[in-house]
């Protein structure tokens, strides 16, 4: 799944300062190679791409669902 944030500069600023330059470089490399600065492989989560997309969308659109993760070992 290829993700393009609305504001890549703001995303880079969420990275701890000590790792920010490296993160910015990796985002740039991913953008050049894959066409998007962020790549999430659904296989890392044992899901197909459609299921992962629905899970992420639910997480973003329904903030109450985030509480489900607070008590789990998956963070």
Per-residue model confidence as pLDDT tens digits over 15-29: 999 999 999 899 889
Question: Cβ neighbours of residue 30 under 8 Å, at least 6 residues apart?
Answer: 36, 37, 38, 39
Are 34 and 62 within one domain?
Answer: no
Are 51 and 32 within one domain?
Answer: no
3-state percent breakdown (helix, strand, coil) of the chain, nearest 5: 65, 5, 30
Q: Structural domain of residue 57, as residue ranges?
A: 47-75
Domain count, the chain: 2
Is pLDDT larger for residue 48 or for residue 64?
A: 48
Are 68 and 52 within one domain?
Answer: yes
What predicted TM-score, i.e. pTM, was given to this entire model?
A: 0.56
Question: Cβ neighbours of residue 24 under 8 Å, at least 6 residues apart?
Answer: 12, 15
Q: Which residue stretches of the chain are H helix?
A: 8-12, 17-34, 49-61, 66-70
């Amino acid at each position: 799944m290829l993700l393009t944030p609305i504001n890549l500069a703001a995303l880079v600023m969420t990275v701890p300062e000590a790792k920010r330059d490296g993160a910015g470089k990796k985002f740039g490399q991913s953008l050049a190679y894959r066409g998007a600065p962020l790549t999430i492989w659904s296989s890392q989560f044992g899901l197909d791409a459609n299921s992962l997309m629905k899970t992420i969308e639910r997480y973003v659109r329904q903030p109450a669902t985030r509480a489900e993760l607070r008590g789990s070992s998956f963070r």
